[in-house]
Amino acid sequence: MPNLKNAIKQVRKDKKRAAKNLAFRADLKTMIKKARKAILAKEKGVDELLLAIQKKTDKGVQKHIINKNAGSRTLSRLHALKKTTK
């Protein structure tokens, strides 16, 4: 347990940020799962979903929530899956 006032405040901030980052990652994973199902089922509106995932992934990379290469790999795999299931 931190003793200094600013260290206590930093712990509080870290908890809030960790919760926010966890929610962001969970939402992104859910979107990716929905996109995979939609691609395999050949549903309409997959392009809009892929655009939303790309936007969210780029935002996560920009804020250092996810790794740059991991975000790129995820997008690449989704687009490759879409291309092969045409």
Containing structural domain, residue 48:
5-84
What does the pLDDT look like over 49-65, one tens digit per residue? 999 999 999 999 999 99
Residue ranges of the chain with per-residue pLDDT less than 50: none
pLDDT at 86: 76
Domain count, the chain: 1
pLDDT at 39: 95
Token pair belonging to 60: 């996560």
- Residue 23 is part of a domain; what is its CATH number? 1.20.58.110
Name residues whose C-beta falls within 8 Å of residue 63's C-beta, 6 or more positions apart in sequence.
none
3-state secondary structure the chain: CCCCHHHHHHHHHHHHHHHHHHHHHHHHHHHHHHHHHHHHCCCCCHHHHHHHHHHHHHHHHHCCCCCHHHHHHHHHHHHHHHHHCC
